Structure 1
Amino acid sequence: MKSRWTTYKGARVMYCDFSNFKSDVNALRAEVEAADRDIIKEPAASALILVDMRNTVASGPAVELFKESAKLTNSHVKKQAVIGVSGFKRFLADVVARFSGQGMRLFDTEAEAMDWLVGSYDGGHVVGGA
């Protein structure tokens, strides 16, 4: 599993590393499901999540996968930031956020995303009411 818990400025953050999944939705599914298993162990509304989507191809099956994941983990997530989403992928992120009710913010850099998650930055593109 590439995804892992990390600490940033004293806060525990789940780094969901969904980067570089070009077209293998089965490998992406395995990674997402492994990350979800860790996230749902957390208390309600407590998990800080960074999702890295750099160099991952957006497809219909991938969007469905993320909708399923969001429904499963939504009640455990306090804040969610996403990097590596631009153009059409940004539109799809908004679709997932609106469908699942799981708000998120989109960022250009990992540092901006992490700073927002721990409360020291107030930027990013809001989707889904985050």
Structure 2
Amino acid sequence: MRKPEFISYNGKTFFFMDFSDMRSREEVDGLIQPSAEYIRSQSEKSVLTLTNIKGMHFNNEIKNAFSDFLKGNKPFVKAGAVVGIGGLQRIVYNGVMKLSGRDLRSFETLDQAQDWLATVN
């Protein structure tokens, strides 16, 4: 089971969640649960998140779990970046952003996302 990790880049620390290629609700929940515990234990507007969803499978159950996760994290996240959004995922991603009230920036690569997050004050 994957666990969230911290990435340091250009003097900033990001909370990295790798959902890439996850296919089941159990896998997704296994990463959501420890991630939510950490993020929601931090000060408001203090966490920089980096999330990889490349190849992640979305169905209604996973979409709803992800929406709830993002909604609950909103007060604690200063800025967030997402990578790996492909064709049909873009439609789901846009829906999740609307449902969660979040505005996470999407990027093509991890490097691009880290470059942007490193500029957030």
Q: TM-score, length-normalised on structure 1? A: 0.86
Deviation at 1:3, TM superposition (A): 1.4
Distance 2:82 2:45 in 1: 18
In structure 1, the gaps of 5 or more residues are 121-130
- In the aligned structure 2, how far is the partner of 1:61 from the partner of 1:115? 32
Aligned residue for 1:21? 22
Instruction: Report % sequence identity.
Output: 24
Please give the residue correspondences for 1:77-116 in structure 2 after superposition, counting only pairs within 5 Å.
Answer: 77-116=77-116
Which residue of structure 2 aligns with residue 128 of structure 1?
none
Could you give the per-residue CA deviations for residues 62-88 of structure 1, whole angstroms, max 9, x where no partner exists?
110111101110100111111111211
SS of equivalent to 2:86: coil
User: 1:49: which partner in 2?
Assistant: 49
Deviation at 1:114, TM superposition (A): 0.7
Distance 2:5 2:65 in 1: 19
Aligned residues: 119
SS state at 2:62 partner? helix
Equivalent residues in 2 for 1:67-82 (5 A)? 67-82=67-82
SS at match of 1:12: strand
Paired residue type of 1:7: S
Distance 2:36 2:18 in 1: 12
8 Å CA contact 2:3–2:34 kept in 1: the answer is no
Distance in structure 2 (CA, Å) of the matches to 1:34 and 1:93: 22
Relative to the length of structure 2, the TM-score reads: 0.92
Instruction: Give the equivalent residue in structure 2 for 1:63.
Output: 63
CA contact (8 A) 1:14 1:47 kept: yes
- 1:18–1:32: 8 Å Cα contact kept in structure 2? no
Supply the RMSD in Å over aligned alpha carbons: 1.3
Which residue identity is paired with 1:16?
A: M
SS in structure 2 of the partner of residue 82 of structure 1:
strand
